[in-house]
A and B are shown apart, each in its own frame.
Chain A
Amino acid sequence: MQELRCYAASGQLGYGIPKDSFNRGIKKKPHFIGADMGSIDVGPFHLGSGTMAPGKASAKRDLELLLRASRKSEIPLIIGSAGTAGGKPHLLDTVEMVREISSEHGFHFRLAVIHAEIEKNLIKSALTKGRIRPCGPVPDLTAHEVDRSVRIVAQMGTEPLISALGAGAGVVVAGRACDTSIFAAIPQMRGYDRGLFMHMAKIIECASICAEPGGRDPIMGYLYQDSFVLESQHPLRKCTAVSVAAHSLYEQADPYGFSEPGGILDLRNAQFEEIDEWRTKVWGAQWIPADKYTVKLEGACWVGVRCIVIGGVTDPIMIAQIDKIAEQVPKLVRELLSEEIPPETYHLTFRIYGFNGVTGPLMPRGTFVPQEVFIMVDVVAKDAETAKTVCGVAKQNLLHFGYPGRLATGGNLAFPFTPPEILVGDTYRFNVYHLMEVDDPLALFPIELHDI
């Protein structure tokens, strides 16, 4: 079997692909370019709101770099999880950018657009057939939660991408996709060993993070019949045996096994060997086909509108009792507003940075008393007006709260600017994170072909 050069340009398309590194890899004549544009790590907002995480200018810059290289060398380009969350609005915004760039440069090719937003009725029907189960420590899915979701996407496997490429697509823009699918589709079409190329795909989808030192630069995966070799395209990033092996830990619950649509990637027998200072050879991973093909569903529901107030405290008398103040002021606010805005209709949280704003209430604390603390009053309510009202009342009562021993009667907070109330906007929560059994890996992911 011939060497297959699989080029992973980015693990987070839209935040700036280092150009020199990218061009270094292009000179090595990859057989295809892939880039992952999405993630669930950024939280539920983008999935719920239908917006893209990176700014349009940087997203377009990255897309342009990839499209130009792909068209010039006439090699396929595969973009997965378009527009951050891979739902319909994300996909359409990404396709729009691809069209703009192509018309600016006069590129002509067959574009495949693969949808990954799933109809709620379809999910509810699968639910009644008992074909949906939680993915990890998640409650069982209910029809009510499906209805509450603003949007539900499914992570596609390799099959829709293979189908699109088989139909002659030069560029594939896919909605929500498994990170691995982007880099596994072409090796699968060419008949390479599935354990090997899934393992390779799992590593290169994060670009050069598996190197020492890790980074965002593109990475080349050289795939062979019985092994693959990894090479970062940044000259200082070395793929060592330990750094590559350790990458199996990254953002994963278990470094020895990964569940994918249609099977499990078993890494217990994976071997890593440095072939020189920069490159490591890997082999031994096994693909264990599953009895049933499942896709992961991700959904987010709207929970309210957020407004925050921020301010700082330097008074040591106040800081020494900040935990009690953070309990008493919200109580006061709830009492004051109880008739107009019942307390069960909003969430009021005091986040005290310098105290336990990050660690939260669970982790034990040290005894260190900081010189300053930063307070964020965080309100989530049913609409912007209510959130602003609660925020305002909380701010004023915190500003003038009479704690024991108070000397500083001018006010308890230093505001860095006015207005100190900041309307953050719509807020979402993950409410679907489940596995759905499907009979046909293609059925959920309709493919559109456009000749551009």
Chain B
Amino acid sequence: MKLRKLARVIRSKNAGPFLLTLDVLFPTIEAFERVKDSGVINVGTISKLYGVPPESIKIIPYPPGLAFKITMVRPIVSGDIVDTDVYGAQQHTPLLDLNVPLHRST
């Protein structure tokens, strides 16, 4: 199932001008646990989807908000000459169609 069918919020935003942060929030504990158990939100996948090196990515599950946080170093600093998204608000799209398997892939 696609991540967009399970989440209630999938967003991106700057965390300061040098970091981009992605939040995936779920409506229920079940949906959060399902995605958590699938292991689909991992550094390797995010690195491939965003074309950024794995060492610049940090993933933090946040159970109190039924959410995952993914923070990465922006390849281009906010507002720099060749930046395409000053607020970083439209960088969430690659996550929408992320396929969530029923069980953890081995």
Contact = CB atoms under 8 A, between A and B. Distances in A.
A270 B63 CA distance: 12
B19 A137 contact: yes
B64 to A, nearest CB: 4
Given A253-B15, A255-B69, A43 B49 contact: no
B62 A248 contact: yes
Nearest to B66: A242
Nearest to B19: A253
A428 B50 contact: no
Q: Quick one: which of B13, B60, B81 has the most chain A CB within 10 A?
A: B81
Interface size class of A (residues with CB under 8 A): 35 or more
Contacts of A245: 62, 64-65
A429 B80 contact: yes
Interface size class of B (residues with CB under 8 A): 35 or more
A226 B66 CA distance: 25
Nearest to A357: B84
Interface string B13-29: 11111110101010000
Q: Quick one: which of A42, A135, A255, A357 has the most chain B CB within 10 A?
A: A255
Contact of B87 (A41, A349, A351): A41
A290 interface: no
Contacts of A389: none
A363 to B, nearest CB: 6
B16 A40 contact: yes
A141 B56 CA distance: 21
B14 A251 contact: yes
Interface string A336-380: 000000000001010100000111101110000000000000001
A250 B56 CA distance: 19
B37 interface: no
A433 interface: yes
B91 to A, nearest CB: 8
Contacts of B84: 351, 357-360
